[in-house]
């Protein structure tokens, strides 16, 4: 059946509104879209790493989560959900449970690219039937916008500040999606909640209903850390995609496939310009840094096209 937002938007929510994430935050949009991909008759158990999502959606005695939910620490959402899944397998074998339950872990980029990378890698390698979703907002937002290995080159954060000598973060953004693809797990995808949510919804569905581990890396902008006006969420995501800063693709059984090819590649400066975290690049003296970012984006895009056999 062809995707229609009109239909999927009617699927009951599994994350209640009224949580405390900021207006214009990409993360809850990501979470709601991913959870909509679970068949309504299936139950799920969800784990979350410490981070904005967790501290804003589960404050005692309230919870936004309709499914069973567990948070234990920052670096171990994958290990925690792997334990849940292991118990499920054991209880099913012993006839104590017979229904279909889906297992999903959410982690921020800090909890996934950095401190939780080992736990994620281990859980994926062991082959647990889990879906790990990184909501990537490119910094440690919960503790006040510190840089992570996902923070892009020249972004201004509180631990990679722009100053007289430096122009924000001096290192590139780590390519986690490729690292996960190298794990040779059944399904890996890069996505973003955009427009009618088709891309993220369909990838989530594939991930959740894959027989084995799956990983989704989902760009989820943060208006506080990126410094954009809250209504501009969709515009920013659109520019990230169309500038090829954040290409949408999937890797299924080792096969790379581009899921969206921009009609016209937008210059990166259009994307950077909208965000306060890059404003220091636009003072007239730092043009070469924008060029440098453009070159990196272009070369990564070319490499991806080759992998997708699209070039």
Partner 1 sequence: MAIREKLSGNEAVAVAMKQIEPDVVAAFPITPSTEVPQYFSQFVANGQVDTEFVAVESEHSAMSACIGSQAAGGRTMTATSSNGMALMWEMLYIASSLRLPIVMALVNRALSGPINIHNDHSDSMGARDSGWIQLYSETNQEAYDNFIQAVRIGEHTDVLLPVMVCYDGFITSHAVENIEILEDGEVKDFVGEYEPLHYLLDRERAISLGALDLPSIYFEHKRGQAQAMINAKQVILDVAAEYERLTGRRYGLFEEYMLSDAEVAVVVLNSTAGTTKAVVDKLRSRGIKAGLLKPRVFRPFPYDEIREALGHVKGIAVLDKAEGFSGAGGPLFTEVGSALQGIANVEMTSYIYGLGGRDVTVDHIESVFMDLKDRLADGKGNKITYLGIHE
Ligand X SMILES: Cc1ncc(C[n+]2csc(CCOP(=O)(O)OP(=O)(O)O)c2C)c(N)n1
Total chain residues near partner 1 (CB under 8 A):
47
Q: Are strands 101-108 and 68-71 parallel, antiparallel or unpaired?
A: unpaired
The b-or-e profile of 167-185 (16+ CB within 10 A means b, else e) is bbbeeebbbbbbbbbeeeb
148 touching ligand X, by CB under 6 A:
yes
Among 4, 16, 42, 90, binds partner 1 (CB under 8 A): 90
What is the CB neighbour count within 10 angstroms for residue 242?
A: 20
139-158: contacts with partner 1 (CB under 8 A): none
Cβ distance to ligand X smaller for residue 88 or 113: 113
Please choose which of partner 1, ligand X, ligand SF4, none residue 87 contacts, taking the beta carbon within 5 to 8 angstroms, the exact cut-off set by kind: partner 1
Among 86, 166, 287, 295, binds partner 1 (CB under 8 A): 86
Total chain residues near ligand X (CB under 6 A):
18
223 touching ligand SF4, by CB under 6 A:
yes
Instruction: Return the DSSP state at 110.
Output: I
177 touching partner 1, by CB under 8 A:
no
Distance CA(216)–CA(214), nearest Å, equals 7
Could you tell me if 133 and 123 are in contact, meaning their C-beta atoms sit under 8 angstroms apart? no
142 touching ligand X, by CB under 6 A:
yes
What is the CB neighbour count within 10 angstroms for residue 264?
A: 5
Cα–Cα nearest to 246, from 231, 236, 257 = 236
Q: What track of x and - describes contact with ligand SF4 for positions 47 through 86 (by CB under 6 A)?
A: -----x---x------------------------------
Report the C-alpha dihedral over residues 236, 244, 155, 270, rounded to 10 degrees: -50
Among 71, 129, 147, 277, binds partner 1 (CB under 8 A): 71
Please choose which of partner 1, ligand X, Mg ion, none residue 142 contacts, taking the beta carbon within 5 to 8 angstroms, the exact cut-off set by kind: ligand X
Could you tell me if 194 and 201 are in contact, meaning their C-beta atoms sit under 8 angstroms apart? no
Please choose which of partner 1, Mg ion, ligand X, none residue 83 contacts, taking the beta carbon within 5 to 8 angstroms, the exact cut-off set by kind: partner 1
Q: Are strands 131-136 and 101-108 parallel, antiparallel or unpaired?
A: parallel
Distance CA(98)–CA(114), nearest Å, equals 36
141 touching ligand SF4, by CB under 6 A:
yes
Instruction: Return the DSSP state at 113.
Output: I
Place of tokens 């339950």: 101
CB of 144 to partner 1, least distance (A): 17
6-25: contacts with ligand SF4 (CB under 6 A): 21-22, 25
Q: What track of x and - describes contact with ligand SF4 for positions 149 through 168 (by CB under 6 A)?
A: --------------------
CB of 47 to Mg ion, least distance (A): 17
199 touching Mg ion, by CB under 5 A:
no
Could you tell me which residues come within 8 angstroms of residue 103 by beta carbon, excluding any fewer than 6 positions away? Answer: 44, 45, 46, 47, 81, 84, 85, 88, 128, 129, 130, 131
Distance CA(138)–CA(222), nearest Å, equals 8
Q: Which residues bind ligand X (CB under 6 A)?
A: 49-53, 74-75, 107-111, 137, 140-143, 148
Q: Which residues bind partner 1 (CB under 8 A)?
A: 43, 45, 47, 54-55, 58-63, 65-73, 75-76, 79-91, 93-94, 97, 99, 101, 118-119, 121-123, 125-126
């Amino acid at each position: 059946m062809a995707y229609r937002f009109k239909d999927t938007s009617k699927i009951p929510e599994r994350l209640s509104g009224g949580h405390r994430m900021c207006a214009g935050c990409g993360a809850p949009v990501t979470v709601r879209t991913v959870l909509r991909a679970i068949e309504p008759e299936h139950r799920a158990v969800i784990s979350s790493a410490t981070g904005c999502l967790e501290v804003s959606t589960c404050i005692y005695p309230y919870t936004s989560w309709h499914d069973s939910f567990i948070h234990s620490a920052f670096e171990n959402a994958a290990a925690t959900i792997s334990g849940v899944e292991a118990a499920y397998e054991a209880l099913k074998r012993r006839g104590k449970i017979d229904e279909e339950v889906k297992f999903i872990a959410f982690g921020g980029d800090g909890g996934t690219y950095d401190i939780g990378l080992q736990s994620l890698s281990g859980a994926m390698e062991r082959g647990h039937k889990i879906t790990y979703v990184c909501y990537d907002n490119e910094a440690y937002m919960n503790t006040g916008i510190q840089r992570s290995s996902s923070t892009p080159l020249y972004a201004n954060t509180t631990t990679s500040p722009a100053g007289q000598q430096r122009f924000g973060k001096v290192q590139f953004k780590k390519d986690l999606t490729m690292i996960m693809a190298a794990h040779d797990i059944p399904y890996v995808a890069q996505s973003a909640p955009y427009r009618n949510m088709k891309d993220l919804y369909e990838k989530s569905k594939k991930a959740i209903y894959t027989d084995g581990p799956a990983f989704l890396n989902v760009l989820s902008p943060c208006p506080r850390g990126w410094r954009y006006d809250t209504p501009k969420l969709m515009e920013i995501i659109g520019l990230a995609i169309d500038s090829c800063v954040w290409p949408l693709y999937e890797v299924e059984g080792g096969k790379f496939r581009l899921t969206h090819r921009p009609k016209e590649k937008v210059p990166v400066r259009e994307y950077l310009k909208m965000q306060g975290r890059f404003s220091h690049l636009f003072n007239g003296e730092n043009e070469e840094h924008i060029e440098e970012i453009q070159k990196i984006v272009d070369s990564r895009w070319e490499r991806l096209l080759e992998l997708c056999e699209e070039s």
